[in-house]
Amino acid sequence: MTRICLLVLLALAAGAGRARADEPPLGAVALLPLDADARLAIYGQPVASEIARALVAGGIDVVVVGPRMAVPDRAWLVVDGTIAGKGDAVVLSLRVRNPVDGAILPTKPTATAQGLPNIDKAAVELSAALLPVVRDELRRISAATVATTKQGAPVQRPNVAVVKPDAPRPLVLALAPNGDPLLRDALAAAAKPWAAKRNDAIADAGPGLQLALVVKRYAATNDAIPYARARVRAKITNGGTVLFDRVVVTDSVLGDKGIAPAALATRTAREVLDILRPHMRRAVAGWR
């Protein structure tokens, strides 16, 4: 399913609409994958597909950026966003930023779906709100550029600064020695790529942001299709100030037939960190 959605996105990007004849060519918009909770991750690609379709239909050149791809130089704007559940509702939100200076536009289109069956309708509403925001900003950037005198030459953006990404911020991870060793080891391993996606680097010691995890309970079944549940206390502090302190509880994490115990523990550890992610975003300034 994901492969089909990605092919649709790439096809839309390849057929991006051309700028009107009465205005200079505009730069492209880079569309990043939408960030979603684990249970909503399956909707990320369909929502992004609808956004790409609407932008292309509006004459905007769209570049679909995969998880391991860099934003291309021809992109004047970057669009990313989140899909988050709030009770029975699902909130879709987008932000638009300038890749040159990192400035984020104050207008952040949002749409709310009352229940999962209405996500498609919310995606259409969200795309309709995004199109004029993107078009107006692209035209504003174009007006501030200087075209070369050669007929048909592309518009050049002046004073384009090379902005280096921020250095990874250290995140000290402390795992209590008690608790099930399978889940404890799995959390230690899974935390590194989890933090790296947010431009954090796991450190063993140091000042600043601290994440302490205590495995309170981990239980896995031996059924034909095994599953596991976990309770992990997570405490986030910064300079001695407690930002978050709560026990994270997973639902049943299903394994595959014949899955190794360590692999099931790894899957459970990722679920724990997925549950923790929105709390980190609320508690830690600049954490994404």
Give the per-residue pLDDT at 31. 87
How many domains does the chain divide into?
2
Is the residue at 119 inside a domain?
Answer: yes
- 24 and 137 inside one domain: yes
Q: What is the pLDDT along the chain (288 residues), one digit of tens a residue?
A: 444 444 444 444 444 444 444 556 778 888 887 887 777 877 877 888 888 888 888 888 888 876 656 777 788 898 988 888 877 888 888 999 888 777 888 888 989 988 888 888 988 999 999 999 999 988 888 887 644 334 455 544 444 444 445 566 788 888 888 889 999 999 999 888 888 776 677 877 777 788 899 999 999 998 888 999 999 999 988 877 888 899 999 988 888 888 999 999 999 999 998 888 888 877 776 565
Is the residue at 163 inside a domain?
Answer: no
- 134 and 207 inside one domain: no
Q: How far is CA 182 from CA 79, 89, 266, in A?
A: 39, 35, 8
The phi and psi torsions of 98 (rounded to 5 degrees) equal -90, 120
- 182 and 81 inside one domain: no
Cα–Cα distance measured from residue 184 to residue 216, given in angstroms and rounded to the nearest whole number: 10
Is the residue at 174 inside a domain?
Answer: yes
- 56 and 100 inside one domain: yes
Q: What is the CATH number of the domain that holds 93?
A: 3.30.160.100
Distance of CA 7 to the CA centre of its chain: 20
Q: Where are the alpha helices (DSSP H) in 174-260?
A: 181-196
Give the per-residue pLDDT at 44. 79
Is the residue at 76 inside a domain?
Answer: yes
For the full predicted model, state whether its pTM sits above 0.85.
no
* Residue linked to tokens 């909707």: 43
Is the residue at 158 inside a domain?
Answer: no
- 79 and 29 inside one domain: yes
Domain encompassing residue 6? 2-143
Q: What is the CATH number of the domain that holds 260?
A: 3.40.50.10610
Give the per-residue pLDDT at 23. 56
Is the residue at 112 inside a domain?
Answer: yes
